Amino acid sequence: MVDQRRIDDQRWVDARAAAKHLGIQVRSLYAYVSRGQVRSVPGEQGRPRLYALGDLERLRVRRDARAGHGAVAAGALRWGEPVLDSAVTAITPRGPAYRGRLAVELAAEGLPFENVAELLWSGYLPPGAVTWPRSAMPHAQLARLIGADAPPLDVMPLLVQVAALADPERDDRRPDAFVTRGRRLIPLLAAALAPGFGAATVTRALGAGSVARIAARALGVDEVHAPVIDQVLVLLADHELNASSFTARVTASTDANPYACVAAALATLSGPKHGSASLEVAQFADEVGSPEAAKAAVRALRKQGQVPPGFGHPLYATGDPRTPPLLDAAARIGHARRTRTLLAVVAATTDAFPSVDVGLAALVAALGVPASAGPGLFAVARSAGWLAHALEQRAAGHLLRPRARYVGVPVRDAIAIESANR
Known catalytic residues are 274, 313, 357
Per the CB < 8 A criterion, the answer to whether 371 and 358 are in contact is no
CB 249, CB 98: distance < 8 Å: no
Helix (H, G, I), strand (E, B) or coil at 222: coil
Q: Rounded to 5 degrees, what angle do the CA atoms 71, 75, 76 make?
A: 110
The answer to whether 122 and 392 have CB atoms below 8 angstroms apart is no
Strand extents, DSSP E, 270-391: none
> How far is residue 157 CA from its own chain's centroid?
17
Residue 84 and residue 414: Cα distance in Å, rounded? Answer: 32
Tell me the C-alpha to C-alpha distance, in Å, between residue 104 and each of 97, 107, 239, 294, 387. Answer: 8, 5, 12, 29, 21
* Nearest alpha-carbon partner for 316 in 47, 12, 76, 93: 93
Q: How far apart are CA 308 and CA 342, in angstroms?
A: 10
Residue 216 φ/ψ, nearest 5 degrees: -60, -45
| Closest to 12 (Cα-Cα) out of 45, 46, 47 | 47
Q: Quick one: how many helices (H) and strands (E) in the chain?
A: 21, 6
